[in-house]
Amino acid sequence: ELKVEQNPLFLSMQEGKNYTIYCNYSTTSDRLYWYRQDPGKSLESLFVLLSNGAVKQEGRLMASLDTKARLSTLHITAAVHDLSATYFCAVDNWHNNDMRFGAGTRLTVKP
Amino acid sequence: GAVVSQHPSRVICKSGTSVKIECRSLDFQATTMFWYRQFPKQSLMLMATSNEGSKATYEQGVEKDKFLINHASLTLSTLTVTSAHPEDSSFYICSAPQQGRYGYTFGSGTRLTVV
């Protein structure tokens, strides 16, 4: 069974600081996704990582994938309050083409 | 881009009644739709996968007779919560694989409250 572990579950940061969220998964997978969820809202797609060594950046967020270690990271650079949200990683189960989600990281950026 | 329209966004119903949630793919054909449930401050849990023209596949522990899924056309999948109880109160989200690219399109979610 595909399992996705994400940490930390809670993250409180000060504006301007850097931090990394980690996502480990248990079995070989095709694709790794990062999503953002604001309270009461659905998911917003941030990144899709398709291959070993893939790195994608958008603004203050950068995601990377190491398929050998079965690890993805989401790095936050110089955090701002607008980044406060819950971030989920998810992995495809290529047998069934469905996604399994990590537990989520609730990020709070304080002034 | 691909859009999945989910309705209603919020619904309050009495215990024992049934509620239908619709997800429509607006500009693409969704042969597959995934249905997730999210309890407050928790992650998304896959409930079932619907495929157009065939029976849905349910995850272990999800009652087929309680959560009825219909995927009668390439643009519409529905989830009906039958005989709803307060413990069914949750946020339900549908998603469909994107066409021609990797990724999924999510509906906007339905907040169900059973009183």
A31 vs A83, more confident:
A83
Q: What is the mean pLDDT of residues B44-63?
A: 92
Give the list of residues 6+ apart from residue B1 with CB closer than 8 angstroms, or none. Answer: B105
- The rounded mean pLDDT for chain A is 92
The contact set of A with B (CB < 8 A) is 31, 33, 40-43, 45, 48, 50, 88, 96-104, 106
3-state helix, strand, coil in chain A (%, to 5): 5, 60, 40
Nearest residue of A to residue B34 by CA position? A98
B41 contacts A99? CB cut-off 8 A: no
Q: What is the mean pLDDT of residues B108-114?
A: 97
Nearest residue of B to residue A6 by CA position? B43
What does the pLDDT read at residue A51? 85
Give residue A94's pLDDT band: very low, low, confident or very high (50, 70, 90).
low
Which structure tokens are listed for B67? 């959560």
Sequence letter at residue B73: S
Q: What is the mean pLDDT of residues A4-10?
A: 96
A18: pLDDT strictly greater than 70: yes
Q: Residue B98 in contact with residue B14, Cβ under 8 Å?
A: no
Q: Is A68 exposed, middle or buried (0-12, 13-18, 19+ CB in 10 A)?
A: exposed
Tokens 């971030």 correspond to: A87
A43 contacts B93? CB cut-off 8 A: yes
Q: What is the mean pLDDT of residues B68-96?
A: 95
A96: pLDDT strictly greater than 90: no
What does the pLDDT read at residue B112? 98
Task: For B78, list phi and psi in degrees, rounded to 5.
Answer: -125, 150
B103 touches A: beta carbon within 8 Å: yes
Beta bridge partners of B62: none
- The rounded mean pLDDT for chain B is 94
Among candidates A42, A98, A106 on the partner chain, residue whose Cβ is nearest the Cβ of B106:
A42
Q: How far is CA B15 from CA A26, A39, B24, in A?
A: 39, 26, 27
Quote the CA–CA distance of B51 and B41 in Å, as a whole number: 29
CA dihedral B2, A60, A107, B96 (to 10 degrees): 10
Q: What is the mean pLDDT of residues B28-57?
A: 93
What does the pLDDT read at residue A28? 76
Which segment of A11-20, A24-33, B73-82 scores lowest on mean pLDDT?
A: A24-33
Give residue B24's pLDDT band: very low, low, confident or very high (50, 70, 90).
very high
Quote the CA–CA distance of A82 and A104 in Å, as a whole number: 17
